[in-house]
């Protein structure tokens, strides 16, 4: 863990509680693998089976830029590099296309930690900050530090899940990461989950980074149908995210069942582009999963398999926007990054 100790004097005593992102009890289901769900109602029916999907800190959200208070005193992420991957695999899960890899070059993405709690942006000197925290009266000094993240996978949603000023974009990529227990003890065995989100608008030219994954995505679902890219292929994760590293950040949840809350969201405010052809290709891979499943169900005469097909593939896989319920959204405009 790369840490920096800084004295914080008694002037900030009495600040409000700062919640620990993604520090839930060990053993909670954090990922969606194995859960049966579909997007026919954009997630409105999920709370019936997955009760946490009806929680008060759910994602995705609409970001009202007129209601965000920007502060240049915030401690924000230090994004140096998202690293590189090798032995890259592309899997169609039935609800999305996932890309995973073995780390070739680890990321250098540091998130601020204050008193053992991970954040995307926090101003400890502002008593009105949404992410402030309690300081026991018998302490006059707190520790600032930065924790590195581990990247897990990225996947795609059509249309975008998060909106800016009510606008949904054609596609959104989610780069899922965690702050491990070795970096921050309070994160526990599951780690503090972080989602880096990238919005895509339509561009005239193909996105060279996206092309190999969309082409390799299988038309069937499940690990047995995952496609491994050539051994010489190197995944340059810096090419997934925008060059400009300013972002919105808030506390939310996974956007798929079981909708576990306590997830730190970082949404870059600069868009990347995807061509219409590429978007159509991705949609065809998603839709073909359901069609292939239905064809196999008809051949086998399996009613159960045919019902399972309802949980696979569609032209869209974005959950409906969720209410903020009083949550604050910060706009980190002074993040430190190294240009490519």
Instruction: Fill in the DSSP letter of residue 45.
Output: T
What is residue 138's predicted lDDT score, i.e. its pLDDT? 43
- Give Cβ neighbours of residue 172 (< 8 Å, ≥ 6 apart): 156, 157, 159, 160, 161, 162, 197, 198, 199, 200, 318
Residue owning tokens 């009083």: 326
Q: How far is residue 164's CA from residue 144's CA, in Å, rounded to a whole number?
A: 31
What is residue 123's predicted lDDT score, i.e. its pLDDT? 67
Mean pLDDT of the chain: 83
| Whole-number Cα distances in Å, 311 to 22, 70, 136 | 27, 41, 49
pLDDT tens sequence across 209-245: 999 999 999 998 888 889 999 999 999 999 999 999 9
Least confident piece of the model among 1-10, 58-67, 297-306, 322-331? 1-10
Q: How far is residue 184's CA from residue 252's CA, in Å, rounded to a whole number?
A: 20
- Give the angle 160-107-102 at the CA atoms, nearest 5°: 85
The rounded percent of the chain whose pLDDT value lies above 90 is 58
Beta bridge partners of 274: 202
Sign of the dihedral through C-alpha 255, 178, 91, 229: positive
Can you give the length of the chain in residues?
A: 340
Q: How far is residue 38's CA from residue 89's CA, in Å, rounded to a whole number?
A: 24
What is residue 301's predicted lDDT score, i.e. its pLDDT? 81
CA-based nearest residue to 71, from 12, 139, 120: 120
Confidence of residue 303 (pLDDT cuts 50, 70, 90): confident
What is residue 24's predicted lDDT score, i.e. its pLDDT? 34
| Contact (Cβ atoms closer than 8 angstroms) between residue 157 and residue 163 | no
What is residue 10's predicted lDDT score, i.e. its pLDDT? 26
> Is residue 27 predicted with pLDDT exceeding 80?
no
| Contact (Cβ atoms closer than 8 angstroms) between residue 268 and residue 199 | yes
State yes or no: cis peptide before 21, omega within 30 of 0: no
Q: How far is residue 129's CA from residue 18's CA, in Å, rounded to a whole number?
A: 9
Q: How far is residue 118's CA from residue 264's CA, in Å, rounded to a whole number?
A: 8
Q: Which two tokens stand for residue 32?
A: 């969606």
Confidence of residue 335 (pLDDT cuts 50, 70, 90): low
Q: How far is residue 199's CA from residue 241's CA, in Å, rounded to a whole number?
A: 9
What is residue 237's predicted lDDT score, i.e. its pLDDT? 97
pLDDT tens sequence across 47-95: 999 999 999 999 999 999 998 866 555 788 999 999 999 999 999 998 9
| Contact (Cβ atoms closer than 8 angstroms) between residue 248 and residue 145 | no
Q: Does domain 30-70+79-108+148-337 have CATH number 3.10.200.10?
A: yes
pLDDT tens sequence across 127-152: 444 444 444 444 434 567 889 999 99
Beta bridge partners of 228: 89
Confidence of residue 260 (pLDDT cuts 50, 70, 90): very high
Residue 331, helix vs strand vs coil: strand
């Amino acid at each position: 863990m790369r840490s920096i100790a800084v004295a914080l004097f008694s002037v900030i005593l009495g600040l409000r509680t700062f919640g620990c992102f993604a520090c839930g009890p060990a053993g909670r289901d954090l990922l969606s693998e194995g859960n049966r769900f579909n997007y026919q109602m954009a997630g409105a029916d999920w709370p019936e089976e997955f009760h946490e999907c009806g929680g008060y800190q759910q994602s995705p959200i609409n970001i009202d830029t007129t209601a965000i208070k920007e502060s240049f005193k915030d401690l924000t992420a230090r994004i140096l590099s998202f690293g590189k991957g090798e032995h890259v695999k592309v899997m169609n899960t039935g609800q999305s296309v996932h890309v995973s890899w073995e780390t070739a070059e680890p990321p250098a993405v540091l998130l601020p930690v204050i008193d053992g709690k991970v954040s995307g942006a926090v101003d400890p000197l502002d008593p009105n900050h949404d992410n402030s925290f309690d300081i026991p009266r018998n302490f006059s000094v707190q520790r600032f530090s930065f924790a590195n993240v581990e990247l897990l996978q990225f996947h795609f949603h059509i249309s975008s899940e998060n909106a800016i000023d009510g606008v949904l974009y054609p596609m959104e990529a989610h780069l899922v990461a965690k702050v491990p227990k070795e970096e921050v003890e309070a994160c526990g065995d599951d780690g503090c989950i972080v989602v880096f989100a990238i919005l895509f608008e339509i561009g005239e030219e193909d996105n060279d980074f996206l092309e190999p994954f969309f082409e390799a995505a299988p038309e069937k679902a499940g690990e047995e149908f995952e496609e491994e890219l050539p051994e010489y292929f190197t995944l340059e994760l810096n090419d997934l995210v925008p060059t400009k590293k300013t972002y919105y950040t808030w506390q939310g949840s996974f956007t798929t069942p079981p909708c576990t809350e306590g997830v730190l969201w970082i949404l870059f405010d600069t868009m990347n582009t995807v061509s219409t052809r590429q978007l159509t290709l991705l949609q065809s891979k998603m839709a073909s999963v359901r069609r292939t499943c239905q064809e196999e169900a008809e051949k086998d005469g399996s009613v159960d398999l045919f019902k399972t097909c309802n949980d696979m593939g569609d032209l869209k896989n974005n959950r409906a926007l969720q209410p903020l319920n009083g949550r604050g959204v910060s706009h980190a405009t002074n993040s430190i990054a190294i240009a490519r």
